[in-house]
């Protein structure tokens, strides 16, 4: 079986990356603010109503993937999907199933901890495979990478993603945006040589991307206590590039206070040593927190004319839910469905409250 790289749950840019983003006050959005946002919803907003679907998992069975994607289209009412992964075969198997359901298929090509040269080679592989599908199903696009300053070698000093994240705000990393913007045109050129569909890039909010060569602006934009007061302005400013805007990742985990921690909400929740993994004291499961957080962000995206939103993430079979709060790893998951330890045998999952919130909003 294809080796499974580091799960995306452990790969969200950590504290040092967040420190590179300008922090602001922590005022909570009031009901009046949310109501005003709802009143300002722009026609045509959220043309792409989507979810991330991570193909990096221990258990990969097409019957399970087919069931998931049918639910994403028919029950969650998505019209788009963002497929994440490093294995071309898995990505294209999922892409064909999603295309068969009529979804707009976005493929995020990502092989973490690779050189720029290998990253370009992988984009060629993905582009060729995606183009074959696009000729039969025109609604196919590619994201040429994810937060490359951290997850690719060569832009920021560091032996791995953790070191690069820690170095982002240090003088040794000065010029990383210039290096990123020197690489991205190569990524676009490489992909366009073999692929005729639309292109975006899933950027980190600390990255200042030159979007000239892209069709769509893409940002992984989590809201937390640091940027809560400026979040709407951040979303609005994305339109300054004159292109459609996708929020390629958003959401939060499933416990009280997770809405204040955004993308880094998984950190420090689970104690994995000694096994089995246990929830640390002080973390209490609360699905309502996640559901309300996602609903508030969708209000903002609609009001600000965002063209596409992809909640992170659909499922994480490697962080199972249990009725015993001490061992409920799912509370540290951003996913909108919960799976149990029998997933490998059954493929079953249960919707969280956030699933139903999305289904109502996307319908």
Instruction: State pLDDT tens for residues 249-295.
Output: 999 999 999 999 999 999 999 999 989 999 999 999 999 999 999 99
pLDDT for res 13: 39
The structure tokens listed for 65 are 């993937």
- The structure's pTM equals 0.89
**By the 8 A CB rule, do 141 and 109 touch?**
no
Chunk the chain into consecutive blocks of 10 residues (it has 363) and report each block's average pLDDT, rounded to whole numbers.
37 40 38 48 80 96 97 98 97 98 96 95 98 97 97 95 93 96 98 98 97 98 96 97 98 97 94 94 97 98 97 95 97 97 95 98 96
pLDDT at 41: 54
Using CB atoms within 10 Å of the CB of residue 32, give its burial: 0 to 12 exposed, 13 to 18 middle, 19+ buried.
exposed
CATH topology classification for 26-362: TIM Barrel (3.20.20)
CA distances from 236 to 76, 98, 189, 241, 351 (A): 27, 31, 29, 11, 31
Going by C-beta distance under 8 Å and a sequence separation of 6 or more, which residues neighbour residue 285?
A: 254, 255, 325, 328, 331
| 34: alpha, beta or left? (left if phi > 0; alpha if psi -120 to 50) | alpha
Give the per-residue pLDDT at 95. Answer: 98
Residue 262 is predicted with a pLDDT of 94
Per-residue confidence (pLDDT) for residue 26, from 0 to 100: 36
Q: Is 290 in contact with 28 (CB distance < 8 Å)?
A: no
Angle at 260 between CA 254 and CA 266, to 5 degrees: 50
CA 202 vs. chain centroid, Å, equals 8
Q: What pLDDT, on a 0 to 100 scale, did the predictor assign at position 45?
A: 83
């Amino acid at each position: 079986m294809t080796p499974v790289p580091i799960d995306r749950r452990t790969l969200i840019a950590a504290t040092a990356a967040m420190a590179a983003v300008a922090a602001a006050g922590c005022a909570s959005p009031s009901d009046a603010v949310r109501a005003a946002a709802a009143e300002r919803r722009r026609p045509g907003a959220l043309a792409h109503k989507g979810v991330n679907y991570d193909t990096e998992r221990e258990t990969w069975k097409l019957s399970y993937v087919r069931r998931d994607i049918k639910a994403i289209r028919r029950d969650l009412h998505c019209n788009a999907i963002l497929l994440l992964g490093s294995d071309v075969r898995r990505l294209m198997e999922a892409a064909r199933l999603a295309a068969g359901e009529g979804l707009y298929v976005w493929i995020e090509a990502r092989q973490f901890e690779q050189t720029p040269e290998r990253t370009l080679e992988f984009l060629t592989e993905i582009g060729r495979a995606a183009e074959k599908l696009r000729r039969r199903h025109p609604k196919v696009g590619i994201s040429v990478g994810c937060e490359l300053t951290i997850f690719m070698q060569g832009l920021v000093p560091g032996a791995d993603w953790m070191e690069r994240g820690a170095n982002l705000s240090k003088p040794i990393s000065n010029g990383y945006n210039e290096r990123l913007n020197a690489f991205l045109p190569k990524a676009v050129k490489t992909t366009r040589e073999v692929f005729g569909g639309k292109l975006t890039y899933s950027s980190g909010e600390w990255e200042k991307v030159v979007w000239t060569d892209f069709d769509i602006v893409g940002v992984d934009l989590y809201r937390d206590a640091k940027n809560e007061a400026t979040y709407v302005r951040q979303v609005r400013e994305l339109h300054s590039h004159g292109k459609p805007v996708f929020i390629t990742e958003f959401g939060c985990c499933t416990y009280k206070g997770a809405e204040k921690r955004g993308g880094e909400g998984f950190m420090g929740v689970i104690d994995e040593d000694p096994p089995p993994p246990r929830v640390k004291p002080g973390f209490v499961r609360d699905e309502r927190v996640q559901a309300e957080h996602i609903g508030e962000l969708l209000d903002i995206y609609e009001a600000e004319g965002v063209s596409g939103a992809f909640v992170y993430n659909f499922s994480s079979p490697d962080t199972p839910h249990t009725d015993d709060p001490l061992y409920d790893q799912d509370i540290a998951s951003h996913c909108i469905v919960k799976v149990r330890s029998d997933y490998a045998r059954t493929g079953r999952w249960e919707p969280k409250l956030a699933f139903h919130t999305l289904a109502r909003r996307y319908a």
